[in-house]
Structure 1
């Protein structure tokens, strides 16, 4: 009963935030450019060769790509559902995370930079989990708070000199913006936006994501 109640709660929460997400559009006046072919050779669909692959089921397996904003409430609501699906489809589906910080979220870029800095020390997934688990602590603030993310890095045991250097490096911000550009080019306008084997999914509820994965696996 507890499992059923928890699943019902998650489903209800996701439906609500899908409505919110539909009203949340990333307004960026610059026109997106096509990805550099040299960085997509051999990459999974809707990804680049440097994209963060959290679940690697092989090149022949279906690929689910999520463009997300760590401060986005809808992304936070989807997080437990995605974790459930990762367990359910372990070894069957590739899962890729890409950045899409929205300009209306004051700390979205700080969170993305923290995740990318952690990735440079092989700790992307640890930071990914930390950011979503603590989202209510730092999300929806009125002022930037990079110190909060630095504290997360310390908690994860990262080398802080390397972390500070990575966060400050222009290349780290460019890496995040690369994902944003690709997302816009592919048709992402808000978060979370999911692509399955390169095709954008139009979701009205959490069941749609499961149904899409089941359908592609049944082929």
Structure 2
């Protein structure tokens, strides 16, 4: 997958011209994108000039792979090929920077195990020298027990598959998710036996994220969480307000939904749902939320939440 001392230019050109080998596709397509050929007499094993690959599949979809390198690998030059080959994996500072401090562990018999920066994939890298490296990549699934049962649910609460969303009402990307993606999910997913679970993850540098989370839970008490959430994402007047001005703005939104504003205001000023929000925050940290929005499908991270094809693949894996 990289620097082969006597073939570096040829291999480099091959890497730069190949398509992305995304996980969560069929074994045949995965092999095709990496320009692999089957190894004769070894079912489910593929190779090219640089490495041998053992894909791991579930329900016909590749969820991981083991790569055994055939030649010396220059670790400092792994970043570009890695980005091309495995775009599903995210490293803010690059793959080589992630492993550089851990080279003694990589070269130990146990190797070095870590996750990409989105927490979506577990990676194990091991080899006593640059000619013997083995790279294992596997999709991670969080335990469903790590997701609290007091989420706001859209669809059948007893559905076997859930799209779990950690969100913040002051987050611009969450607004995009709400206005451009969530409506489609609401229209289509319940019919597929999939519900949507909303968890609060107010970021500390968004000063009105906690107040709006509290307000949305007060609207939930009156059966209007999703409608109130839509109003919060549609409007911006509350963002720069504070104190009583913010409270008045949030109560005004409640009145637009014909909520009992006295009950709503009493709920909001009491902060009675703070423990619920704190619980969602703790759960988010436990499942390694990488920012907002963070989306999972039955515990499997789904950072490309606008990718409808991948969503359907994850739903298929979860059923």
**Which protein shows a greater Rg?**
2
**For the Cα contact (< 8 Å) 1:46–1:195, is it kept in 2?**
no
Q: Where do 5+ consecutive residues of structure 2 fail to align? A: 1-91, 93-143
- 1:21-67 CA distance string (max 9 Å, x none): x9xxxxxxxxxxxxxxxxxxxxx76532321101227432x210100
Match of 2:30 in 1: none
Match of 1:184 in 2: 285
**For the Cα contact (< 8 Å) 2:146–2:286, is it kept in 1?**
no
Match of 1:66 among 165, 170, 175: 165
Give the superposed CA RMSD.
2.2
Match of 2:273 in 1: 172
What is the deviation of 1:202? Answer: 2.9
**For the Cα contact (< 8 Å) 2:238–2:250, is it kept in 1?**
no
More strand by share: 2
1:20-169 pair list within 5 angstroms? 47-56=147-156, 58-60=158-160, 62-79=161-178, 80-92=180-192, 93-134=194-235, 136-139=236-239, 141=240, 143=242, 145-169=246-270
Alignment: residue pair count: 171
- 1:187-219 CA distance string (max 9 Å, x none): 11310000110122232x722xx2332113434
- Structure of greater relative contact order (alpha carbons < 8 Å, 6+ residues apart): 1
More helix by share: 1
**For the Cα contact (< 8 Å) 2:169–2:209, is it kept in 1?**
yes
Question: What TM-score comes out, normalization by structure 2 length?
Answer: 0.49
What is the deviation of 1:170? Answer: 3.9
Q: Where do 5+ consecutive residues of structure 1 fail to align? A: 1-21, 23-43
**For the Cα contact (< 8 Å) 1:57–1:91, is it kept in 2?**
no
